[in-house]
Amino acid sequence: MWVSRQKTRFHQVMNNSSEPAIVIDNLRVTRGTRLVLPGLSVSIPGGQLVGLIGPSGGGKSTLMRAIVGVQVIDSGTVEVLGQEAGSESLRQRVGYLTQAPSVYADLTVRDNVEYFAKVVGAPPGAVDQAITDVDLADHADALVGRLSGGQRSRASLACTLVGDPHVLVLDEPTVGLDPVLRRDLWTIFRRLAESGRTVIVSSHVMDEATRCDRLLLIRAGEILADSTLPELLARTGAADAEGAFLMLIDRAEAQGQGSAA
Amino acid sequence: MSARITLATASRILRQLRGDHRTIALMIVVPCVLIGLLAWVYKDSPVPIFDRIGAPLLGVFPAVVMFIVTSVATLRERTSGTLERLLTTPMGKGDFMLGYALSFGVMAVIQALVATTFAVWVCGLDIAGPLWLLVVVALLDALLGTALGLLASGFARTEFQAVQFMPAFILPQFLLCGLLASRDTLPTGLKEISDVLPLSYAVDAMKELTTNSDPLPNTWSALLIVAGWIVVSLALGSLTLRRRTP
Ligand SMILES: Nc1ncnc2c1ncn2[C@@H]1O[C@H](COP(=O)(O)OP(=O)(O)OP(=O)(O)O)[C@@H](O)[C@H]1O
Ligand SMILES: [Mg+2]
């Protein structure tokens, strides 16, 4: 306990976590005919574990796609580590986990992780480490197509972890997993943040909010809250993350109706 | 672009293929079966028709097979999200294209060797030109099919569409390539179109080496045009890869 707290403080000093890792200014995104992000501005500090939460369809994945630079944007700027999102020098340093597992079903777990390791130029030892991290060592030589849904999404996560990126953008990495696995993965995310990585995790599960340094609550493309959990609880007077979440959403919906009326 | 990533991609694709025995069998066996059928059809013909059209079709069949396999494989990569993921990594668009061209090129070499061997030693195909040139042209044709398949898959949204592109991209070229009607006899307009299409040159080269014992002086320009089409298709295909999507 003492050691880990000591370590945390040490790394915070090391990383100068006051420096933002991601700065988004007035980001506007239309998908199809739908205005998904009407003009979003937010700054995400480096070296922290940041939870991106909000109702389904609120724009979490769209925001993450903009951060990794695969989303066509209408206007605004997205800067990651001081550079424009998606620029060439960032691709080595930003790791992305898509919401739907994106791995080759006709290859084994190890073949998949080895391939992504080669693409990002990771050292060979990183492959076994990543597979162990997601607890798939027993299934390393199984075809991904024959894995269960949760195993498949963990195989996909291993392919992101293997490159040891500075910024990890993880779209619902723990969805559909049991409590033990979720705890283990959050331990890994915590470890990464403590070693100076910036980790952004989207989630629906409210108890996961307690594990984050910072929470971004996004609804209908707008940031409803950008604060730590204690700040959020103090502001709303709610007893837990779920209560605060519901209260803010209800308030925003009531306001939306009020202004429409 | 980086050699490391290109080679890693090529070997990953070959590894995927290796696990799919049926696809490998189809790639290698289908051209042989078609050639065999053709030989059988003309077995009792009084004039040596098989010797005349065997070589040109030895160029056409592999191109068709490779076109379908490549366009479906790359489309799968788009729809499964792996392409989007790869484009967030240091991988260049050229790495992706060349990775596919290289790995399917390896398959094309095997295919060309097997199909030529089968045509010559089993079906008794008799050509005037050297056999090695027959293999080279068959290989170029298979690569042409791969490159066109990569390009076509950029315009397909579903696997159904990708498969349908085969008749759309390849059959018109087949009609105009000079096998059904000699290219000089085509009406104005069609002749010009046939002069641009790559399959016409693939078949020209095969025809030349069917009848000429020293075909190289007359075929190298046709082969250059086919090679040019391969390069242009790969370049255009990489333009259809978009890092940013809506
Ligand atoms: N490819 C697309 N084309 C058009 N509209 C899209 C596309 N993808 C998403 N949308 C729309 O954009 C909005 C935001 O979607 P997004 O995927 O960002 O939500 P999300 O917060 O990640 O939801 P979830 O929690 O369900 O994953 C939704 O209303 C959705 O309908
Ligand atoms: Mg989402």
Query: Please, which residues have CB less than 5 A from ligand 2, an ion?
Result: A 60-61, 99
Question: Could you tell me which CATH number the domain at A2-93+167-260 has?
Answer: 3.40.50.300
* B184 within a domain of the structure (yes/no): yes
Residue-level pLDDT, tens digit, chain B, 246 residues: 899 999 999 999 999 999 888 889 888 999 999 999 999 999 888 888 888 888 888 888 888 888 988 888 888 898 899 999 999 999 999 999 999 999 998 998 898 899 999 999 999 888 899 989 988 998 899 899 999 999 998 888 888 888 888 888 888 999 999 888 888 899 999 999 999 999 999 999 998 998 888 888 889 999 999 999 999 999 999 888 888 888
pLDDT confidence of residue A259: 52
A202, amino acid identity: S
Q: Which residue CA neighbors atom 10 of ligand 1 most closely?
A: A31
- Transcribe B16-36 into DSSP letters: HHHT-HHHHHHHHHHHHHHHH
Closest CA–CA distance from residue A75 to any residue of chain B (Å): 13
The two structure tokens encoding residue B151: 């390009």
Q: Which residues contact B239 (CB under 8 A, 6 or more apart)?
A: B93, B154
List the one residue out of B69, B76, B74 whose CA is nearest residue B26: B69
What total number of domains does chain B contain? 1
In this structure, how many other beta carbons lie within 10 angstroms of the beta carbon of residue B184?
A: 7
Give Cβ neighbours of residue B95 (< 8 Å, ≥ 6 apart): B1, B2, B5, B6, B9
DSSP-assigned states of every residue in B19-84: T-HHHHHHHHHHHHHHHHHHHHHTTT-SS-HHHHHHHHHHHHHHHHHHHHHHHHHHHHHHHTSHHH
In this prediction, residue A257 carries a pLDDT of 67
How far out from the chain centre does Cα B124 lie?
23
- Which residue's CA lies nearest to atom 11 of ligand 1? A31
A-B C-beta contacts closer than 8 Å: 79
Q: Does A200 touch chain B (CB under 8 A)?
A: no
Ligand 1 centroid to residue A212 C-alpha, Å: 24
Residue among A160, A166, A165, A139 nearest A150 (CA): A139
Residues of chain B contacting A31 with CB distance shorter than 8 Å? 246
B16 contacts A69? CB cut-off 8 A: no
Q: Give the pLDDT of chain A (261 residues) as one tens digit per residue.
A: 344 444 443 444 344 445 789 999 999 999 999 999 999 999 999 999 999 999 899 999 999 999 999 999 999 999 999 999 989 999 999 999 999 999 999 999 999 999 999 999 999 899 999 999 999 999 999 999 999 988 999 999 999 999 999 999 999 999 888 889 899 999 999 999 999 999 999 998 878 888 999 999 999 999 999 999 999 999 888 888 888 888 888 888 888 765 544
In angstroms, what separates the C-alpha of B66 from chain A's closest C-alpha?
Answer: 19
CB of residue A18 inside a 6 A radius of ligand 1 = no
Of A30, A68, A115, the CB nearest to B12: A115
Look at residue B40 and tell me if it is in a domain: yes
Among A202, A143, A211, CA closest to A174: A202
The domain in which residue B221 lies consists of 3-239
* Model pTM score: 0.88
Residue B245 falls inside a structural domain: no
Calculate how close chain A gets to B177, using CA atoms only, in Å. 37
ipTM tops the 0.90 cut: no
Ligand 1 pocket test target in A27, A52, A62 with most atoms within 8 Å of CB: A62
Residue B244 domain flag: no
Nearest of B135, B147, B125 to residue B42 by alpha carbon: B125
Q: What is the CA radius of gyration of chain B?
A: 18
Neighboring chain A residues of B6 at a CB cutoff of 8 Å: none
Map tokens 């069609």 to a residue: B190
Closest CA to B38 of B24, B52, B20, B19: B52
Answer yes or no: is B246 within a domain.
Answer: no
**Chain B residues within 8 A of A101 when measuring between CB atoms:** 81
Nearest CA in chain B to A112: B12
Quick one: how far is CA B182 from the chain centroid?
A: 22
Q: Check if A59 has its Cβ closer than 6 Å to any atom of ligand 1.
A: yes
**Quick count: other Cβ atoms within 10 Å of Cβ A180?**
9
Do residue B244 and residue A103 have CB atoms under 8 angstroms apart? Answer: no
The domain limits of chain A are 2-93+167-260, 100-164
CB A127 within 8 A of CB A117: yes
